[in-house]
Copies of this chain bind each other. A is one copy, B any other.
Amino acid sequence: MLRENGEGKWIIFAPSIAPYMKKHNFFAGPAILPAPVLEQAAAAVSDFEGMGLSILEISHRSPQFVAVLNEAEALVRELLGVSDDFAVLFLTGGASSQFFVSAMNLLNEDQTAGYIDTGAWSAKAIKEAKNFGGVNVLASSKDGNYNYIPENIEIPSGLQYVHLTANNTIFGTQFAEFPETDAPLVADMSSEIFSRRLPMEKFGLIYAGAQKNMGPAGVTLAIVRKDLLGKVKRTLPTMLDYRTHIAKQSSFNTPPVFPIYVSMLTMRWVKAQGGVEAMEKHNADKAQLLYDEIDRNPKFRGTVANKASRSLMNVTFEPVDEADAQPFLDACEAAGCVGVKGHRSVGGFRASIYNSMPKSSVQALVDVMKSF
Interface residue? A38 (CB, 8 A): yes
Does B29 lie within 8 Å of A54, measured CB to CB? no
Chain A interface size range: 35 or more
Judge whether B254 and A209 touch: CB under 8 Å. Answer: yes
Question: Is chain A's interface secondary structure helix, strand, loop, or mixed overall?
Answer: loop
Taking a contact as CB atoms under 8 Å apart, the answer to whether B15 and A17 are in contact is yes
CB distance from A110 to the nearest CB of B (A): 17
Task: Kindly report which residue of chain B lies nearest to residue A35, judged by CB atoms.
Answer: B3
CB-based nearest B residue for A94: B253
- Taking CB atoms, residues of chain B closer than 8 Å to A140 are none
Q: Which residue of B lies closest to A27 (CB)?
A: B59
| Chain A 245-269 per-residue mask, 1 if CB under 8 angstroms from chain B, else 0 | 0000000111111110010000001
- Residues in B with CB closer than 8 Å to A262 are 56
Cβ < 8 Å to B, chain A residues 80-134: 92-97, 99-100, 104, 124, 127-128, 131
Q: Are B238 and A100 in contact (CB-based, < 8 A)?
A: yes
Give A339 Cβ to nearest chain B Cβ, in Å: 7
Bound CA–CA A93/B254 (angstroms): 9
Question: Which residues 23-58 of A have a CB within 8 angstroms of B?
Answer: 23, 25, 27-36, 38-39, 41-43, 45-47, 50-54, 56-58
Would you give the shortest CB distance from A250 to chain B, in whole angstroms? 12
Which residues of B have CB within 8 Å of A25? Answer: 53, 57
- In the complex, what residue of chain B is closest to A336 when comparing beta carbons? B52
B256 touches A8 (CB 8 A): no
Q: Is A11 part of the contact surface with B, judged by Cβ < 8 Å?
A: yes
A334 at the interface (CB under 8 A from B): no
A16 interface residue (CB < 8 Å to B): yes
CB <8 Å contact, B8 and A254: no
| Contact partners of A41 in chain B: CB under 8 A | 45, 54, 56
Query: Is the CB of A358 closer than 8 A to any CB of chain B?
Result: yes
Known: A239-B96, A258-B217. A30 touches B57 (CB 8 A): yes
Choice from B3, B21, B240 contacting A2 with Cβ under 8 Å:
B21
Minimum CB distance partner of A255 in chain B: B217
Closest chain B CB from A225 CB (angstroms): 22
**A238-B96 contact given A23-B52, A59-B30, CB 8 Å threshold:** yes
Flag A3-15 by CB within 8 Å of B: 1 or 0 each: 1111110110111
Cβ-based interface call for A329 (8 A):
no
Contact of A10 among B22, B51, B255 (CB under 8 A): B22
- Assess A6 versus B36: contact at CB under 8 Å? Given A1-B17, A237-B128: yes
Name 5 extra pairs, CB < 8 A, besides A15-B43, A30-B58, A38-B54: A15-B15, A30-B57, A42-B54, A45-B45, A128-B238
What are some 10 contacts across the A-B interface (CB < 8 A)? A6-B34, A6-B273, A16-B39, A16-B46, A92-B97, A96-B253, A209-B253, A216-B258, A258-B258, A259-B259
